[in-house]
Structure 1
Amino acid sequence: MKKQIKSLSISLLIYSMFVILIGWKLTWFSNQSDTLFSQYGIIEMFKRLFNFFVNDASFSPLREGILLVSFGAIILASFWTIFLKLRKQLIALIIVDFILSFIILADAIYFRYFEDLISSAVLLQIKQMSSLGSSVGDLFTWKDFLLFGDVLIFTVLLVVLYKKIPHNKNANPALRLATGLVAGAAGAWLFFYPLHDFVEKGGAYLFDKTLSSMRVYEVTGLFGFHGFDTYKYLDEYVLNKKEVSAKDRKDAQAWFRDKNKEPAVQTVYEKKAAGKNLIMVQLEAYQSYVIDKKVNGQEITPNLNKLKKESLYFSDIHHQTASGRTSDAEFAANTSFYPLATGSAYVRFPRNEYDSLPLIMKENGYDTAAYHAYKPGFWNRYIVYPNLGFNEFHSIEDFKKGEQIGWSLGDESFFTQSVDIMKEGEDPFYSFLIALTSHYPYTMPAQYQNLDIDDVGDVNLRNYLQSVHYVDQAVGTFIEKLKKEGLWENSVVVFYGDHDSGYMQANTGSTLFANTKADKLGELEVKDGIPLFMHVPGVDGKEINKAGGQVDIMPTLLHLFGMNKDNYHHMGQNLLDDQESSVVFRYGSVKTDKYYYKAAYDLKLENGTCYDIESRQSVSVETCKPLYDKSIEHLGISDDVIFGNLVELWRNQSVK
């Protein structure tokens, strides 16, 4: 019996080392994502657990952090290895260690760029991620691979010492089974009881309608999130495909009905673009802080600076993308709905119908076409675009070979070839162009690094500035080409940025360079800021300082073209009227002309921060409660419309 206990003790010691190592790796991820792993140290945690069991103390303080659920998840993922004899146990633990370490590293890398976790919906987009190539590689540091140091060491030791490891002849299967089951039960309690306590105290909403992956993570831990996310995906899309309830459909329809009943505000801009062509260009990773900015006496964007003086320039516009990034931006701009919290609407719901911009333009006699010098299957564009109302999609296959810069054909060649295609068509037309050159990681060939900025910021910022400077040059060539072909004076030409550079985390070279106000609010403002230009023939240039986002581009254009109707389903607002405006971000933050509410990861009002824009100081979060309520309502309605394909449903109902 002593030998059996000794054998089991060795197995438990090894298993305990495994649990501690994985726990340490989870604390590393918590530090990477700047989230709370534990409010208390291990000793204090055990004291409070003792008080909970013995003195019937409150359990809620133990949920301040994810220590309990994290260790519970580790045990649940591995307790079965205790059943195995020592050699097999060591092999199994090394395999589990590798798998869990890989998940942690993958989430850390993904979080660095997207500030989110890899969800099942994102995994559906794995082909898009693989196309990032070296872009993803640049997110790694050599220290990241220390996560696999223990896997490597133990694998080598196992190989070298394999024959010297006891066969566990003294192992008692019943004793191991009982011990393993006890460990599993303990893991189940550590994981599920905190979640039970959370739900009992009003947290069920989090799992019913997930608006943020990070919010789930801060309750379930990393492995718990992936378990819940996998379960939810299978439940909603395989076992019990999610249906938007009749009540939610009714509430959403009532919201649009009330919105459309609001009297339209007349402006001097209404119908100023009637009958003109529309050329809209989405600029890759273009942020507003580079506009009118000089570095070492050099204009970063001289052509866009010139265009600004001749156009309606919206100086307080912000991107609203989530993990779908570029596809999210074009989705928001062309449908006036918010992107999904996880995954891309283009991938998850490619055949949905909307009252989209190309469809409305087509209904008004416009020819519609999208242009993008990349693979037609990327982001499912070849499937999505016909449903949005584009008659044609000109992908990489339709462009002549030219100099490849970054991912594909350089923007200058892409723009000029696109104009050649446009001029062969008939007026009026809507052409939607997605530029690509200024894509992460922004490394440009030496001949296109025309800014003298060797002493500026860090290498990431310098690469980014060289990249956007090249794209500005391409924009200048594009405008001259439009003028030469007689299209400039007969077209509304729109430029906007799709998302941030990915380098806008706190205290990075990019943020320090961009945030001239050098305060926390300024950091938030520049992080998501994108430019929006609308050049309208016959309309004088004007800067409009009104808070808005990509969902507002479409309603504003419809106002300019005089195509407004009271039965369209759009979330956005007209940026040209004099009404108070706001921009709702995908993860619950909201900005108006007066306040900026920065949502916390847990989406609780009290844990967010409310800033007064004029004083640039934080104020009571209650001041921002109406904004908070609005963000939750808007995001919920938009999600219901997308999940339920409600626009198509309502359209069919009206026809009947």
Structure 2
Amino acid sequence: MGSVLKKIRNVLNTKLGFFVLVVFCFWLKTYFTYQTKFTLGVNDSVQKLLLILNPLPMGILLLGIALYFRGRKSYWIMMTVTLLESVWLFANILYYREFSDFLSLGIIKSSGSVSNNLGLSILEIIHPSDFLVFLDVIVLGLLLIFKLIKVDKRRIKIRNAALFSVLAIALFGINLSVSEKDRPQLLTRTFDNNYIVKYLGINFYAGYNAYQTYKESSTRANASSSDLNDVLNYLKTNRSEPNVSYFGKAKGKNVFIFHLESFQQFLINYKVDGQEVTPNINKFFSDTNTLSFDNFFHQVGQGKTSDAETMLENSLFGLPSGSVMTSYGTSNTFQALPAILDQHGYSTAAFHGDVGSFWNRDNTYKSWGYQYFFDDDYYKQKTNYSVGYGLKDKIFLKQATQYIEQLPQPFYAKIITVTNHYPYELDKQNQSIPKTTTGDQTVDGYVQTAHYLDQAFGEFINYLKKSGLYNNSMIVVYGDHYGISNNHKKAIAQLLGKSSVSNYDLAMFQKVPFMIHMNGLEGGINHTYGGEIDVMPTLMDLLGLKNTDTIQLGNDLLSVNRNQTVAFRDGNFVSPTFSKIGNQVYDNKGKAVSSSLTAQQKKSVNEMQARTDKVLSLSDKIVTGDLLRFYTPSGFKKVNKKDYDYKYTDGMKELKQKQKSSKNSLLQQKNGNSTVNLFSTDAPELK
């Protein structure tokens, strides 16, 4: 036994022996992470084999760089590479746990605009076992420091070092060819990062994503007006006609866009211990003057809330990685709904109780044509007024009324709430409903913050009624994205009263509320399938705005005979007949039917997949190529970002000037008597 250990130690005291040990540790921790930290959907023996293989090519290639150097430098390089790999794995574990996706260069670049409140979230996400990815770094470091493994100062022949590089490339070639056979056009058609990692590895994904980011940036430089031809040709045959029964019904009305943060459809009429979680939203949802859509899906990618806003006000998708608002919001040309309404006599304003730079809003909103942006600088702040991502909703909404009442009418006002945001924590004095009991710490507090949001929503609606705005406004309410990611399957199953959930169940779980309320509007539950990409054309038709030559990739949800294929950012889709999630096709009852489709059904599924791929790729071309700079709809004036300034002093000065030139704000209608006191709240912080 002693002789065996001596031989092993002798081998490890050679540079090649230590290299093999480091590669093995790298492979082991990566494979361990795949199996225990990610949900990659490995379905068969080929995919299992590829999952075992894919850490090796990039591992050998990167760590093999050290073999070209001699002495201690070689060991330093190996240890530095494996430390960086550990940090990369650790960061992705945390990001994936919350977002079911992998870190991208776009997200890393934009982290400065979204990281101001992430500290608490990260602490909630971390599990002790996550730190195991650093175990090899610590152990190997100690072995070297205490000279249990000695540094081999001999130089390895260049050709021997090169052999490992060749081996890495050969292994990657095998990996790629088998992957392409199992998943054709893996790198050209997939929109799902899980596939890249599952087949080719997390390190290849990093390089591939960096290339995609570079490609996106170079796309703009090489774009020309002819690139729009494909977009315009698509719109000629895919733009739906407005529903004559609804067209112009909201003409001249104020518009409120009420943003329900992280709010999912399953919360509607959901109860905990017999108590309704969202009684006010439930009542609003079933109101006879509310059009409520029960098959409405969020379609966000990594940009989450920023993707929802991008779709809502531009009818363009978010990016495969990163965020449109952070990557392109400052520089690109847009023809957004606020700018269109501005040019039709509307005041346009966004309200958000956090810093203006979050998601680059302070720059993006200028590109979108918002006249006003009331960020956290406009509100009174106290220590207990905020939680997580900004002012608590009740406090925020009450303070927002002082600016709402000053807006010249008609106005377009987007109200962004934040309290119902991960990690779903609320101080005890604001808790008024028990947590759920799934045992999942992330999930169980969700109903408490959702209930608080519902209370704030109810208070806001009461204010609109008391002030008179309710009768003269179209109130649009929507959930921006999921609150509970698909990584919490056991908890989701318990919430839905099921023993387990399928991929189809998880897709249906991504429904979010979408409601349009207006006095005199013929309401009811609308079962059409749609998503956030469809909001802008729907609202434009309701407002009676010409919408025949705009570049919008969604369709009016009220149109007759509209295409109901809902594209997800990862390339999957749902529809009233068939849905495709991953490699499986499901019918509208959730049964997997891939192997039993008729020829006609396969054709229908293929057409829906082609439409999904087309609309996503067109959106990416429009955004990354900044193609709207080459096209202007008739009657639209290009936005000049220099016209807008959101600083508090300038914003207040602008409001005062508008009060003089326009006599139709709510405040003026009330003869200068403020309506702020009409907002009644039970917020304990204000008592």
Normalising by structure 2, we get a TM-score of 0.83
Contact 1:135/1:440 (8 A) holds in 2: yes
Offset at 1:439? 0.7
Q: Secondary structure at the match of 1:651?
A: coil
Task: Give the 5 Å matches for 1:96-495.
Answer: 96-131=81-116, 132-161=118-147, 166=150, 168=152, 171=154, 173=155, 175-195=156-176, 206-207=186-187, 211-237=191-217, 243-244=222-223, 248-260=227-239, 264-310=241-287, 311-350=290-329, 351-402=331-382, 403-453=385-435, 455=437, 458-495=440-477
* Partners of 1:245 and 1:63 in 2: CA distance: 44
Say which is worse superposed, 12-21 or 193-202, in terms of deviation. Answer: 193-202
Could you give the per-residue CA deviations for residues 244-287 of structure 1, whole angstroms, max 9, x where no partner exists?
47764321121123334x5x243422222111100101111001
> Which residue identity does 1:149 align to in structure 2?
L
In 1, the alpha carbon distance for the partners of 2:484 and 2:610 equals 28
Q: Distance in 1 between matches of 2:576 and 2:534?
A: 15
Report the Cα distance in structure 2 between the residues aligned to 1:62 and 1:282, rounded to whole angstroms. 41
AA at the equivalent of 1:435: T
How do 1:513-592 residues align onto structure 2 when only pairs under 5 Å count?
513-514=495-496, 520=502, 523-580=505-562, 581-592=564-575
Work out the CA distance in 1 between the residues paired with 2:231 and 2:315.
15
SS at match of 1:375: coil
Say whether the 8 Å CA contact 1:87–1:165 is kept in structure 2.
no
Residues in 2 aligned to 1:373 and 1:528: alpha-carbon distance in whole angstroms? 26
| CA–CA distance in structure 1, aligned partners of residues 522 and 77 of structure 2 | 70
Q: Deviations over 1:6-28 (max 9, x none)?
A: 77973222211111111112212
Q: Distance in 1 between matches of 2:501 and 2:183?
A: 36
Structure 2 residue 585 is the aligned partner of structure 1 residue 610:
yes
More displaced stretch, 419-428 vs 576-585: 576-585
> Aligned partners of 2:338, 2:393: CA distance in 1, in Å?
23
Task: Indicate conservation of the 8 Å contact 2:267/2:278, yes or no.
Answer: yes
Q: Give the CA deviation at 1:340.
A: 0.8
Deviation at 1:440, TM superposition (A): 0.3
Alpha-carbon distance in 1 for matches of 2:556, 2:535: 8
Give secondary structure in 1 for the equivalent of 2:632. helix
For the Cα contact (< 8 Å) 1:376–1:395, is it kept in 2?
yes
Greater CA drift, 283-292 or 533-542: 533-542
Percentage of matched positions with identical amino acids: 27
Counterpart residue number, 2:657? none
Residues 391, 209 of structure 1: CA spacing in aligned structure 2 closer, same or farther, 3 A cutoff? Answer: farther
Q: Which one-letter code corresponds to 1:273 in the other structure?
A: A
1:21 is matched with which residue: 1, 4, 25? 25
Residue of structure 1 in register with 2:580 after alignment: 597
Change (3 A) 1:517 1:362: farther
Q: CA deviation at 1:617?
A: 4.7
Match of 1:35 among 37, 40, 57: 40
Cα deviation, 1:42-88, whole Å, max 9, x if unaligned, reads xxxxxxxxxxxxxxxxxxx7996254443111111011323445644
Q: Which amino acid aligns with 2:479?
A: G
Query: 2: distance between equivalents of 1:417 and 1:448?
Result: 18
Instruction: Give distance in 1, aligned partners of 2:178 and 2:491.
Output: 42
Residues 133 and 201 of structure 1: CA distance in aligned 2, closer, same or farther (over 3 Å): closer
Distance 1:196 1:466, change over 3 A: same
Aligned counterpart in structure 1 of residue 63 of structure 2, from 78, 85, 90: 78
Contact 2:493/2:500, CA 8 A, preserved across alignment:
no
Gap change, CA 1:563 and 1:511, over 3 Å in 2: farther
2: CA distance, partners of 1:388 / 1:111? 31
Aligned residue identity for 1:20: F
Q: CA deviation at 1:501?
A: 1.1
Compared CA separation, residues 89 and 334, structure 1 to 2 (3 A): same
Is contact 2:113-2:360 (8 Å) kept?
no
SS at match of 2:293: strand
In structure 2, the residue matched to 1:50 is: none
Closer, same or farther: CA 613–197 of 1 in aligned 2, 3 Å: closer
SS in 1 for 2:422: coil
Structure 2 SS opposite 1:442: coil
- What displacement does 1:596 show? 1.8
Structure 1 residue identity aligned to 2:398: T
Whole-angstrom CA distance in 2 between matches of 1:589 and 1:167? 51
Report the Cα offset of residue 331 of structure 1. Answer: 0.8
Q: Residues 199 and 241 of structure 1: is their aligned pair in 2 closer, same or farther, counting only changes over 3 Å?
A: farther
Say which is worse superposed, 386-395 or 189-198, in terms of deviation.
Answer: 189-198
Supply the AA of the counterpart residue of 2:374: H
- 1:157–1:569 distance in 2 versus 1, CA, 3 Å: same
Count of matched residue pairs: 616
Query: Residues 303, 366 of structure 1: CA spacing in aligned structure 2 closer, same or farther, 3 A cutoff?
Result: same
Q: Point out where structure 2 has 5 or more consecutive residues left out of the alignment.
A: 1-6, 638-687
Residue 51 of structure 1 is matched in structure 2 by: none
**Residue in structure 2 matching 1:641, options 588, 612, 622:** 622
| Distance in 1 separating the partners of 2:105 and 2:28 | 25
User: In 1, are the aligned partners of 2:420 and 2:450 still within 8 Å (CA)?
Assistant: yes
Provide closer, same or farther for how the CA distance between residues 199 and 597 of structure 1 changes in structure 2, counting only shifts above 3 A: closer
Aligned Cα root-mean-square deviation (Å): 3.0
In 2, the alpha carbon distance for the partners of 1:629 and 1:515 equals: 35
Whole-angstrom distance in 1 between the partners of 2:43 and 2:588: 33
1-side partners of 2:211 and 2:635: how far apart?
A: 36
Counterpart amino acid of residue 314 in structure 2: T
Alpha-carbon distance between aligned partners in 1 of 2:449 and 2:43, rounded to the nearest angstrom: 41
Query: Does the 8 Å CA contact 2:144/2:150 hold for their aligned counterparts?
Result: no
Shift of 1:291: 0.6
Distance 1:346 1:562, change over 3 A: same
Aligned to 1:629: 610
The separation in 2 between residues aligned to 1:654 and 1:395, in whole angstroms, is: 31
1:95 Cα offset (Å): 2.0
Aligned AA for 1:237? S
The structure-2 alpha-carbon separation of the partners of 1:215 and 1:200, relative to structure 1 and needing over 3 Å to count, comes to closer
Tell me how far apart the structure 2 counterparts of residues 193 and 645 of structure 1 sit (CA, whole Å): 38
> What is the Cα deviation at residue 564 of structure 1?
3.3
Contact 2:64 2:161 in 1 (8 A): yes
Relative to structure 1, the CA distance from residue 72 to residue 641 in structure 2 (aligned partners, 3 Å threshold; closer, same or farther) is same
- Cross-structure match for 1:650: 631
Distance 1:508 1:529 in 2: 18
Structure 1 residues 11 and 332: CA distance shift in structure 2, 3 A = same
Kindly indicate whether the alpha-carbon contact (under 8 Å) linking 1:412 and 1:474 is maintained by their aligned counterparts in 2: yes
- Equivalent-residue separation in structure 1 for 2:53 and 2:176 (angstroms): 10
